[in-house]
Amino acid sequence: MSRPTQTQQPPPPDDDPLNPKAAASALDFLLMELVPLAQRLTEQLLAREQALLEEYRRSRGFDWRAAKTVGVGYQKEQQGVRDGSGDGNGEQGVVVSADGSAAVVATGGRGGGGGGGGGGDVGAVVEGSGITSLGFPVMSEQTRESVFWRLDGMGYRVGQGLVERFSVNKPRPTTPLDAIKFVCKHLWILVFRKQIDNLKTNHRGVFVLTDNRFQPLSRMSVDRRTGIKGAEEALARAQTFLYFPGGVIRGALAGLGVEVTVEASSTEIPTATFQIKTKGAKP
């Protein structure tokens, strides 16, 4: 007449640090915060750069020609960032591409130098954020590209570390397809607590990963009262949250030895699609 033994322990209380919900929630909130953080960083750096340039233009006894070249060089960089193309000025990184170069480090260096001098006057033309018709703040084109690039860089390092740690006892992936399968199955579960729903490939180096309920997008609200416009706007704002996971994929694959470019997009919340192209792939 013995009681059946309890096979399940009672769930740990909510404020127990060992409760997996705590870690999962913390990760979710951190990922959410990354985007505004990248935005703030980029805007501050750009503001400093503008201030420095203003200071330079206004200082006495400086060479007009030098100013012109600096101005032109600056314009070229902005152009490069806006187009997202790595032009002759080789230091600008492409928005989401395999070679994450040190462009932002260069910008940061200049910004840091001018911080002391140009702190007072930021009257320069900072293409700051505007407001959309529905009342949500939106970033300027220039800020957007830099923010995407920065988020992707962050994700890259995270991906490298993650894949090293969690591929320890798994069989070694020999082909790019194996590596992507590893990402779909194991990495996605670890970071987003679910598997990828669909993997398509054209067997020539292009892979498309579809997640029907992508975790960062799953809790976003869309104002349906405003109709199509609201949905589009939500999509545009959701786009920013796709770059960090894109970077994680890129870093993870780089850790396994596969050089790729990743394009993240979403046509409908909460579905997300990641297009992965290996180097030399034919579309």
Partner 1 sequence: MGSRSPSIAAIGVIGRHNNPLHIALFPATGEGHEQQRDKLEYSFMLNSSLDIFEARMPSKTVGHDFGLLHALDERLALYGWLTNSGVKLVIAVDMEGRTAPTPEAGKTAILGLRNSDLAPAFQALQTAYIRLLRNPFYIPDEHNPQATKGSGLLAITSTRFLNEVDRIGKAWHPGVTVI
Q: Give the binding site for partner 1 (CB under 8 A).
A: 100, 157, 160-161, 163-165, 167-168, 170-174, 255-257
Smallest gap from Cβ 187 to partner 1, in A, equals 12
Three-class secondary structure of residue 35 per DSSP: helix
Three-class secondary structure of residue 137 per DSSP: strand
CB atoms within 10 A of CB 96: 21
If the CB atoms of residues 248 and 269 are measured against partner 1, the closer one turns out to be 248
If the CB atoms of residues 141 and 164 are measured against partner 1, the closer one turns out to be 164
Smallest gap from Cβ 141 to partner 1, in A, equals 28
Q: Which residues contact 64 (CB under 8 A, 6 or more apart)?
A: none
If the CB atoms of residues 88 and 171 are measured against partner 1, the closer one turns out to be 171
Smallest gap from Cβ 252 to partner 1, in A, equals 10
Smallest gap from Cβ 160 to partner 1, in A, equals 5
Smallest gap from Cβ 259 to partner 1, in A, equals 10
Buried b (16+ CB within 10 A) or exposed e, 211-221: beebbbbeeee
Three-state secondary structure of 234-252: HHHHHHHHHHHHHHHHHHH
If the CB atoms of residues 108 and 161 are measured against partner 1, the closer one turns out to be 161
Buried b (16+ CB within 10 A) or exposed e, 61-94: eeeeeeeeeeeeeeeebbebbeeeebeeeeebbb
If the CB atoms of residues 21 and 170 are measured against partner 1, the closer one turns out to be 170
| CA dihedral for 213, 279, 176, 98, sign (positive or negative) | negative
Smallest gap from Cβ 7 to partner 1, in A, equals 31
If the CB atoms of residues 167 and 240 are measured against partner 1, the closer one turns out to be 167
Cα(50)–Cα(45) distance, integer angstroms: 9
